[in-house]
């Protein structure tokens, strides 16, 4: 399918998982940033 071999599909699968984990972490960081933002700290301090 799409001309990818098994090892390339492994890379694609791992990449998708990493992206999902990063998105979840960013969502959690955003949730934690709201109290910090109200204290006047900038988001760039992650």
For residue 39, what pLDDT is reported? Answer: 62
For residue 38, what pLDDT is reported? Answer: 64
For residue 7, what pLDDT is reported? Answer: 93
Alpha-carbon distance of 41 to 32, in angstroms, equals 12
Instruction: Tell me the per-residue pLDDT of 5-28, one tens digit each, with 9 for 90 and over.
Output: 999 999 999 999 999 999 988 888
What are 24's two structure tokens? 């979840």
Is the model's pLDDT at 2 over the cut of 60?
yes
């Amino acid at each position: 399918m799409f001309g990818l071999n098994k090892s390339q599909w492994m890379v694609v699968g791992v990449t998708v998982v990493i992206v999902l984990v990063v998105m979840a972490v960013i969502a959690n960081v955003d949730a934690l940033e709201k109290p910090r933002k109200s204290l006047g700290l900038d988001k760039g301090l992650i």
